[in-house]
Structure 1
Amino acid sequence: MTNKPIAIILAAGEGRRLRPLTVHKPKCLVKLFGKSILEYQIECFKNCGINNIIVVTGYLGDSIRFPNIIYLKNKKFHKTNMMYSLFCAEPFFKNSSSIIVSYGDIIFEERILKKLLSVKEDFSVVIDKNWKKYWNLRFVEPLSDAESLKINKNGYITDIGKKVKNIEEINGQYIGLMKFQGKSINKIRKKYDALKKASLNGENIMNPNTTFEKSFMTDFLMYLINSGEKIKAVSIKNGWLELDSINDYKLYNKMYKNGNISRFFRAEK
């Protein structure tokens, strides 16, 4: 195993809620403020010294053509989810002592990535403590989209990814950016293999309400927690954006024109 970190960007999804912007290109190539989502991420990773970058593609993946990037295709992108896309890159896990995983529909400031990189724990996940202000901006009813996230007094996540009825049950929001390093890399490989074998009997241990292939990343993280693993919450206050819907796109561009987007995201100069 080398000491060089790798970044894995999960960009296989169809981005249906962003149509018509994603009719002819994948979500990660939609532009915000003059640059595509993927451009922001690649620049951020490289500026922080991470040059080994893997993009897991799917929908219209052949249109993604940035140089010096490794491309892997999730051939089952139309019927799988983020967890499955991550393990499309499993052959590369053994070549690094640190793996940074990012969803392909977010942009984040360099300070957030630097904070994640500085964490020493084997499992670490970025969560936004100032999420209410951001969710209130995007949703008429924030609880329609927000999910559970509880953190104990030592800063470790104890619950994640469930629907909740009370906003007080939420200590922050998961943004889709995390890191596995050290012993955790082999642990997630072994646990994934065990879960995959169990699924051959029609059993999805992580989430009985969906198939193994459609399991969410939060299902996998919650399974790790229930298995006794400690996942460190890397707390931030804004500094990122998620591009999930056409409403997001219109909102961000309006705020950019009005000079208000810096309340939530500041592009690096």
Structure 2
Amino acid sequence: MKAILLAAGRGSRLGTATDTHPKCYVSLHGRPLVRWQIEALTAAGIGEIAVVRGYLADFWDRQELPVSRFFTNDRWQQTNMVASLACADDWLAAAPCVVSYTDIVYSPGSVRRLMAAPGDIAITYDPNWLSLWSRRFADPLDDAETFRVDARGRLVEIGARPKSLAEVEGQYMGLLRLTPAGWRTVTDYLGGLPAAEADRLDMTGLLSRLLSRGVEIQAVPIADPWCEVDQPSDLTVAERIFSPAGGIVGR
């Protein structure tokens, strides 16, 4: 199986930390986030990894990474994450791919569980999200999205603004897996949208719209600790979760 790292955006919420390098080169325990992702994917058995770049695209040419291919979203400033994903169309159409955000850190076990999930579209989620969000935000609902699954582990709702904790059964982690058939489902939907609307579409928005069309999406609960680095204070949280050697300290 292959993997695609989505690294086109700047990460403006990190302020000056991304002035000279892409967001995924923010350092955690002396190593850029992208190194943590590549190591987890490789340890899980991923054979080839591609990067979709955009902001400071030339930066990647100076790095030594075990990356098989680069795709470039030249319109990264005018588009969102789904448009970046579409830049890797030929990989997605040819073989199953794990797709990863590049502002997250996770375990190889999380990747393996996602790889083994049934269905053509699958995502990982954290059912114990409140513990992590309470460390990141004064009010966890300020940055949470609705998330519900059914008794068979299929996603039934994602991406809306929750009014209460009861509407949030977990949080999407930024890891998904698509088979070629799953990607065709996505491209068929995107092909029916006006170009400007497709450009603005983010990942949870896409997943929500697919659900409304009856598309089945498998939701895989993850018990391993993980983290997201979206603002400077998230790095402090991440440092307490993951050890400098790459091991997990705790939630």
TM-score (norm 2): 0.91
How many aligned residue pairs are there? 246
Q: Report percent identity of matched pairs.
A: 33
1:224-263 alignment, distance < 5 Å: 224-253=210-239, 262-263=249-250
1:27-38 alignment, distance < 5 Å: 27-38=23-34
Closer, same or farther in 2 for the Cα pair 1:238/1:50, shift >3 Å?
Answer: closer
- How far 1:36 sits from its partner (Å)? 1.1
Q: Is the 8 A contact 1:130 1:238 kept in 2?
A: no
Closer, same or farther in 2 for the Cα pair 1:14/1:68, shift >3 Å?
Answer: closer
> What is the CA–CA distance in structure 2 between the aligned matches of 1:67 and 1:218, rounded to whole Å?
29
Q: 1:40 aligns with which of 36, 40, 43?
A: 36
Question: Aligned to 2:87, what secondary structure does the other structure show?
Answer: helix
1:117-196 alignment, distance < 5 Å: 117-181=115-179, 183-195=181-193
Could you report, residue by residue, the CA deviation over 1:31-69 in whole angstroms, capped at 9, with x for unpaired residues? Answer: 112221111111122222212211011111221232443
Question: Aligned to 2:42, what secondary structure does the other structure show?
Answer: helix
- How far 1:253 sits from its partner (Å)? 3.6
> What is the CA–CA distance in structure 2 between the aligned matches of 1:15 and 1:215, rounded to whole Å?
17
Structure 2 residues not aligned, in runs of 5+: none
> What is the CA–CA distance in structure 2 between the aligned matches of 1:44 and 1:255, rounded to whole Å?
15
Closer, same or farther in 2 for the Cα pair 1:255/1:113, shift >3 Å?
Answer: closer
- How far 1:255 sits from its partner (Å)? 6.5
- How far 1:11 sits from its partner (Å)? 0.6
TM-score (norm 1): 0.85
Could you report, residue by residue, the CA deviation over 1:221-245 in whole angstroms, capped at 9, with x for unpaired residues? Answer: 1111111111111001342110100
> What is the CA–CA distance in structure 1 between the aligned matches of 2:113 and 2:250, rounded to whole Å?
19
Structure 1 residues not aligned, in runs of 5+: 203-210, 265-269
Quote the residue 2:109 is aligned against. 111
> What is the CA–CA distance in structure 2 between the aligned matches of 1:252 and 1:117, rounded to whole Å?
24
Q: Is the 8 A contact 1:116 1:179 kept in 2?
A: yes
> What is the CA–CA distance in structure 1 between the aligned matches of 2:192 and 2:110, rounded to whole Å?
33
Query: Which amino acid in structure 2 is aligned with residue 81 of structure 1?
Result: N
Closer, same or farther in 2 for the Cα pair 1:140/1:60, shift >3 Å?
Answer: same
- How far 1:30 sits from its partner (Å)? 1.0
> What is the CA–CA distance in structure 1 between the aligned matches of 2:226 and 2:4, rounded to whole Å?
18
Quote the residue 2:6 is aligned against. 10
- How far 1:191 sits from its partner (Å)? 1.9
Q: Is the 8 A contact 1:8 1:56 kept in 2?
A: yes
Quote the residue 1:20 is aligned against. 16
Q: CA-atom RMSD, angstroms?
A: 2.0
Q: Is the 8 A contact 2:92 2:178 kept in 1?
A: no
Deviates more, 1:69-78 or 1:124-133: 69-78
Query: Which amino acid in structure 1 is aligned with residue 132 of structure 2?
Result: Y
> What is the CA–CA distance in structure 1 between the aligned matches of 2:180 and 2:198, rounded to whole Å?
26
> What is the CA–CA distance in structure 2 between the aligned matches of 1:9 and 1:158, rounded to whole Å?
26
Q: Is the 8 A contact 1:57 1:72 kept in 2?
A: yes
- How far 1:77 sits from its partner (Å)? 0.9
> What is the CA–CA distance in structure 2 between the aligned matches of 1:82 and 1:229, rounded to whole Å?
20
1:80-99 alignment, distance < 5 Å: 80-96=79-95, 98-99=96-97
